[in-house]
Amino acid sequence: MLLPDTPLNPLERGQLNAMRLTGAVFWTVATLVSFGPGFGLSTGFDWFPLWLPAAVIAPLGLWSVLYATPKRWSRWGWAWTGKELHVASGWLTRRHTIVPAARVQHIDVTVGPIERMFGVATLVLHTAGTANSEVQLPGITRETAEEIRDAIRDQLTVDPW
Amino acid sequence: MVSEELEDHGPRRVHPLTVVIWFLKKAPQNVVGLPAIIGVTSGRGLGWIALAAVGIGVVSLVWTWINWRRFTYEVTDSELVIERGLLNRTRRSIPLERIQDVGIEQGPLSRIFGLAEVRVETGGGDKDEAVLDSVSLSEAARLRGALRGAPARPAVGLDTCEDAPPVEDTLTDVFAMSPQRVLLLGLFSFSLVWIAALAGAIQFLGDALGFGWDEIADMAKSAQGEVQSRLTYSTGFGLFGLVVLLGVITGVARTVLREWNFKLRAGIGRFRRTRGLLTRSEVVVAMRRIQLALIQRGPFRGLLGWNALSVQTLGGSNDPSGRQVLAPLARDYEVAGIVARAGLPPFERLALRPVAPAHILRALVLAVPLPLGVIAAALLLTPFAWLGLILTLPPVLTALLQRRYHRYALRSASLQVMRGVLAQRDWIVPVENVQVVTLRQGLIQRWLGLVTVEVDTAGAGMGATPAVVDVALKDGATLARDLAAGIS
């Protein structure tokens, strides 16, 4: 909670499942692939067991999917105040980004295949900035993303002065 | 999502012939290159290669066609909408108010088919914000009309209105570098490259002659031997003097070549900078494209009261983006004069507040462990390693002084930040030019109750940004809130 006065909405539960599925696929593939070098090493050195790399990677994957991913998911938060979009994230290093609607150049709403399975979408705000010109908010419903997009667009048509 | 009928209103696809253009563009690698590689590696005959070429060609054509089907665009009364992607569906909305420029380009292939590529620029970070590749010429003209017909509304900090052709007005001198000052700047720009070159030369000669750093180290220990007869103290000092001389000469020569006859003049809404001895360069900086001002003081010139002033500009179709030097070596009052001429608020050092006291603690935590670790490791090799503690003195001193030189304030609609001990920097960032505000808190900062406030501006390149590092959490939240409120 870097900005305690701004109450943040959590991401959809679907996003947690999407993150878990992505992680599970990645770690399963990594575990299977690790049998390759494991096989190579076990033929090279008699003492080297074939399953050793997999036995290291699989628990790491379990830890990541069962513990780290929910942690990371719960650190995300967002709020649309009507003038600014707040996006907070990060488990060890925490970030809270404020994008004023008046600074938005264009807006993307993206839905990937896994995101579609769990009914979530990613909202991407582009500004004229440099290091942080693309602010992403994943894990909201498509309807919410479109609502925020339309709200920001309405802000733009209001004269700044 | 994609409507099937292509009527006047509703999403449209780019011209069907585009499929051919895309296919032909990729053909050299797909239809010729890939089969050739397959053929060579598998060692089969020409028939196989031809078959592979046809197969890959068909797949590539189908793929191109699918991509074409999935790419639609639509101009509504308020925005340009582009939908694309097969699995990853992206819907991009570009508000018409934000469109700065619509370019129509015709490559050789498009010309054959009578098509054109429409590029839409919004002044955002990336170049490929919206490219419609390719549409018919009449559609391109219609699009330009539809996209530009929007009432040009100046967005704060960015100009959406067209650049009027510069009115020929008289330019007044704002700042100039006298020859003496250019030479002085040259002396400050002492180049260390030659010391590195000398080290490299010793290494090289050492390899060639059979002596090197190890032997020199031996010499230092035993203070005798064959090497010593070759490299005595007097030749050593002579060599050192030569290197310093070369460093000075290089610095002066480079500076004279670049900054000779530096002149900054100002007209209505713009600066014109000319400089250079052999190649005269001329740069025009439009004042309303200036995003922030940066005043820098190097270690020596800062002590003597000299500053360098540069501004960060947002690039446009004709203007360069990034950092432009407005005064390479100037006194405080000269810098203040240029800043005022640029229409920026003055930098008021006395009004600034220091960051949280724990900033020193974090600076120490970041500065000390690594050198201590190196020394501890070296102690295992030689007991003399504790002498290395002397080397940790500069970083520790810098860390202790860091808070003294890191101050900030939100004043007269601008964020003012000073940071840096040896190389000092002052930033003046008009709040309206801030694009995104980010609060960031690392692990150490969380333990100390600190937070860093970062501001993102347009046209920033590499290098330091006007971040306020390590303020108390409450102050950081207030600063971020005030910044965001100032923008919207």
Place of tokens 């306020």: B468
Q: Worst-scoring range by mean pLDDT, B34-48, B198-212, B434-448, B453-467?
A: B198-212
Give the per-residue pLDDT at B218. 57
Which residues of A are less than 8 Å from B459 in CB distance? 130
pLDDT at B227 over 80: no
**Interface touch A2/B476, C-beta < 8 Å:** yes
Task: Give the rounded distance of the alpha carbon of B482 from its chain centre.
Answer: 26
Helix B233-259 with B193-209: angle, nearest 10 deg:
140
Question: Which residue among A94, A135, A155 sits closest to B441, beta carbon to beta carbon?
Answer: A94
Q: What is the mean pLDDT of residues A45-52?
A: 85
CA distance B34 to B37: 5
**What mean pLDDT value characterizes chain B?**
82
pLDDT at B165 over 90: no
Q: If we measure between CA atoms, which residue out of B486, B438, B433 comes closest to residue B123?
A: B433
Question: Which residue among A102, A106, A110 sits closest to B124, beta carbon to beta carbon?
Answer: A106
**Interface touch B91/A110, C-beta < 8 Å:** yes
Best A8, A22, A75, A96 member to test B by mutation, with max B CBs in 10 Å, is A96
Q: What is the mean pLDDT of residues B411-438?
A: 91
Q: If we measure between CA atoms, which residue out of B456, B488, B461 comes closest to residue B155?
A: B488
Provide, rounded to the nearest whole percent, the portion of chain A with pLDDT above 70: 97
CA distance A161 to A158: 9
pLDDT in tens, B327-384: 999 999 999 999 999 999 999 888 899 999 999 999 999 888 888 888 888 888 877 7
Question: How far A47 CA lies from chain B's nearest CA (Å)?
Answer: 33
Place of tokens 């295992």: B380
Strand ordering across the sheet containing B353-354: B322-330, B307-313, B290-297, B424-430, B414-419, B407-411, B353-354
Query: Measured between alpha carbons, how far is residue B469 from residues A141, B363, B453, B466 in Å?
Result: 35, 10, 6, 9
CA distance B278 to B257: 7
Interface ipTM: 0.88
Question: How far A115 CA lies from chain B's nearest CA (Å)?
Answer: 9
B155 touches chain A (CB under 8 A): yes
- Going by pLDDT thresholds of 50, 70 and 90, the confidence category of residue B220 is low
At residue B372, what are phi and psi to the nearest 5 degrees? -60, -40
The string of DSSP codes covering B197-208 is: HHHHHHHHHHHH
Q: Worst-scoring range by mean pLDDT, A46-60, B122-136, B250-264, B416-430?
A: B122-136
- Predicted TM-score of the model (pTM): 0.80
Q: Worst-scoring range by mean pLDDT, A99-108, B76-85, B157-166?
A: B157-166
Q: Where is pLDDT greater, at B208 or B84?
A: B84
Helix (H, G, I), strand (E, B) or coil at A9: strand
pLDDT in tens, B436-469: 999 999 999 999 999 999 999 887 777 788 999 9
Residue B6 and residue B16 in contact, taking contact as beta carbons nearer than 8 Å: no
- Going by pLDDT thresholds of 50, 70 and 90, the confidence category of residue B387 is confident
Highest mean pLDDT among B98-102, B212-216, B287-291: B287-291
Question: Which residue among B94, B457, B480 sits closest to A130, beta carbon to beta carbon?
Answer: B457
Count CB atoms within 10 A of the CB of residue B399. 20
**Interface touch A105/B129, C-beta < 8 Å:** yes
pLDDT at B128 over 70: no
